[in-house]
Amino acid sequence: MASNAKRATQDEPATVLGHCPRFHAAIELIGRRWNGVILQRLLTGPLRFSEIRRGVPGLTDAMLSQRLRELEDAAVVKRIVTDQRPVQVTYALTPIGSQLSPVLTAVADWSVQWAERDERAT
């Protein structure tokens, strides 16, 4: 509740917080099951399929495969295949994907405060 502007004027370029379908799509992409954690892991650098899976307990092959493809379609993740003999595939964030860093940091930050509320109630 940063401002008391009840209703933005229609000409407002919708400061980041106006009703905006991009925002909607973005937050649901990031928040889609598993995606947040996958992205979080990728933020530390490129990883192989199995490395991601190992880092995310409960995530199955099928799910990871599907999510990775969605993330690729969203241009957030890039799939890299090496020509090497033991074909090696790695996944990395694209430039726009890397820019999710502040977003994920903000969420991680908030989640700590949010968790405190629970711990206190214990």
Partner DNA sequence: CAGTATCCAGTTTGATACTG
Partner DNA sequence: CAGTATCAAACTGGATACTG
Residue 48 lies near DNA (rule: CB under 7 A) = yes
Ranges within 64-93 binding its own copies (CB under 8 A): 74-76, 92-93
Q: Which range in 64-72, 77-85, 104-112 contacts its own copies by CB under 8 A?
A: 104-112
Following DSSP, what letter does each residue of the chain receive, concatenated? Answer: ------S--TTS---TTSS-HHHHHHHHHHHSTTHHHHHHHHTTS-EEHHHHHHHSTT--HHHHHHHHHHHHHTTSEEEEE--SSS--EEEEE-HHHHTTHHHHHHHHHHHHHHHHHHHHH-
Residue 24 lies near DNA (rule: CB under 7 A) = no
* Residue number, 88 or 110, with CB nearest to its own copies: 110
> Where do contacts with its own copies occur on this chain (CB under 8 A)?
1-6, 16-20, 22-33, 35-37, 40-41, 43-46, 55-57, 74-76, 92-93, 96, 98-115, 117-118
Chain residues in the site for DNA (CB under 7 A): 32-34, 48-51, 58-63, 65-66, 68-69, 79, 87-91
